Amino acid sequence: MSFFDRLREAATRNGSLLCVGLDPRPDRFPDEVLASPDPILAFNRRIVDATRDLVCAYKPNYAFYEAQGLEGLRALRGTIDYIGPEIPVILDAKRGDIGATAEAYAQAAFEVWGAGAVTVAPYLGGDSVLPFTAYEDRGVFVLCHTSNPSASELQTLRCGGEPLYRHVARLAGRWSECGNVGLVVGATYPQALREIRELAPETWFLVPGIGAQGGDLEGAVAAGLRPDGLGMVINVSRGVCHAPDPRQAAIAYRDQINAARRLPSQAPEGILSRPGGTSRDGLILDLARIGAVRFGSFTLKSGATSPIYIDLRLLASHPDVLGRAAQAYADLLAGIEFDRIAAIPYAALPIGTAVALQTGRPMIYPRKEVKGYGTRRAIEGVYHPGERAVVLDDLISTGESKVEAIAPLVEAGLVVRDIVVLIDRESGGRETLSAQGYRLHAVLTLRQILDLLVQQGQIGEEQRAGVIEWLASE
């Protein structure tokens, strides 16, 4: 059986996603353990005996054994032998090197120590990971977004227009040719956990940060659980090993995890509907929360009365939501070939700037009014005729204003094929653009927004029907 087959079997058999970290600290051992001829092994055996039927895995941290010299290393091997094959063992060694060194590290982890899986740092790229994945029956957990406070110093740096941890998550999928790569994602960063689950829907996550580090257990489970109720190995070390009663502590953690697994939010739609996410549903709830989507009676520029008003200019005053919207735009843009973003004034200017920062692509914008002084330019920013410009705006109704905004871009020699908006009001704009030879890409449609707000109880079905009827009559 592969490592992840054995992990799934253990999690199912014990009804648990709890992983107990075996991090021995002799200065905290009870007197009866210290009196043993092999205190470290005696301590670990005590923990394993108390929790064997409560866990899906054990995770010894190599550093604590190495720190005790040869005695500690002998205890490590004795501990893994004592656990046996029924419960998977993840050796937390965080290896990261290349060539013959990486091969030696892999040999040590799997052949010398007998671990079922090992943690690996990907900073040196695939060369530092593939010697481990070559052991097809063993697991490799790649550090993606760790639980420590300074994780953001490197792991959130922009790389190709997105945080580095998202890039690592995608690379890990390529490295997993044998299906034996998982990811380390800390419970202390539930937003990152949610994003990575969307990028890697089937991958097993090793999740540190619960217990002494203060991670939100319920939030982590909601963000990271797969639809099948599996996919997470939730590690607790000190909270179990050094508890007055390790068995009772493990039971408490297992039960808390299982209670979170049973919440409605374990389903994909529940995960997406949590405010603060970068998903479609999370973004909708964010927009409603900040008042960018409102219901009532509103007089539009045309003089018509509308039962709904969408004001995406408010995004500029809510940088957290603006950032999530920018990421949603960036996800759409990933499938489009373009050289520059052309943001349409005025609502799309702050959005376009955020997207440019997110993607690392330059932004230009066509002026609504050409100045009668200075450069008298119709398009602000640097561009060259023949370049491809993707037009970005906040929303689309009939599409007529988009055609008008595209005209000066085309006159300047830019090539325009695609228009990207956050919201399609479904008022004929897609058809208008298509007739002109343009493609519309929308993060959200108005009906998607209405459907979710009904589902979440924020508006009634009758109110939704009223907006839909009004749209049909426009």
Its domain, for residue 332, covers 280-473
For residue 159, what are the CA distances in angstroms to 189, 229, 388, 429?
A: 19, 32, 22, 34
349 lies in the same domain as 231: no
Q: What pLDDT is attached to residue 271?
A: 31
Catalytic residue (choose from 59, 94, 301, 368): 94
Q: Answer yes or no: is 272 within a domain.
A: no
Instruction: Give the span between the Cα atoms of 403 and 390, in whole angstroms.
Output: 13
- Measured CA to CA, the distance from residue 115 to residue 96 in angstroms comes to 17
Does the residue 405 lie in any domain?
Answer: yes
Per-residue pLDDT of the chain (474 residues; tens, 9 = 90+): 899 999 999 999 999 999 999 999 998 898 888 888 999 999 999 999 999 999 999 999 999 999 999 999 999 999 999 999 999 999 999 999 999 999 999 999 999 999 999 999 999 999 999 999 999 999 999 999 998 888 888 888 888 778 899 999 999 999 998 999 999 999 888 888 988 999 899 999 999 988 767 777 888 899 899 988 999 999 999 889 988 899 999 999 999 999 988 875 433 333 333 333 336 777 898 899 899 999 988 887 667 788 999 999 999 998 888 988 998 898 889 878 999 999 999 999 999 999 999 888 999 999 877 655 555 688 999 999 999 999 999 999 999 999 999 999 999 999 999 999 999 998 899 999 999 999 999 999 999 999 988 887 888 888 999 999 888 877
Number of compact structural domains in the chain: 2
Sorted by sequence, the CB contacts under 8 Å of residue 85 that are 6+ apart come out as 6
Q: Which helix (H) or strand (E) holds 192?
A: helix 190-199
Residue 247 lies in a domain: yes
Is residue 191 in a domain? yes
| CATH code, domain carrying 205 | 3.20.20.70
Q: What does the alpha-carbon distance between residue 439 and residue 418 come to, in Å, rounded to a whole number? A: 5
Predicted TM-score (pTM) of this structure: 0.59
Count of residues for the chain?
474
Residue 321 and residue 173 share a domain? no
Q: Could you tell me which residues come within 8 angstroms of residue 361 by beta carbon, excluding any fewer than 6 positions away?
A: 161, 333, 338, 339, 340, 341, 355
> Are the CB atoms for 421 and 393 separated by under 8 Å?
yes
181, two tokens: 């790569």
Domain boundary among 267, 299, 325: 267
The verdict on whether 94 is a catalytic residue reads yes
Backbone angles phi, psi at 115, to 5 degrees: -70, 150
For residue 416, give the H/E element and its range: strand 415-424
Structure tokens at 310: 């969408």
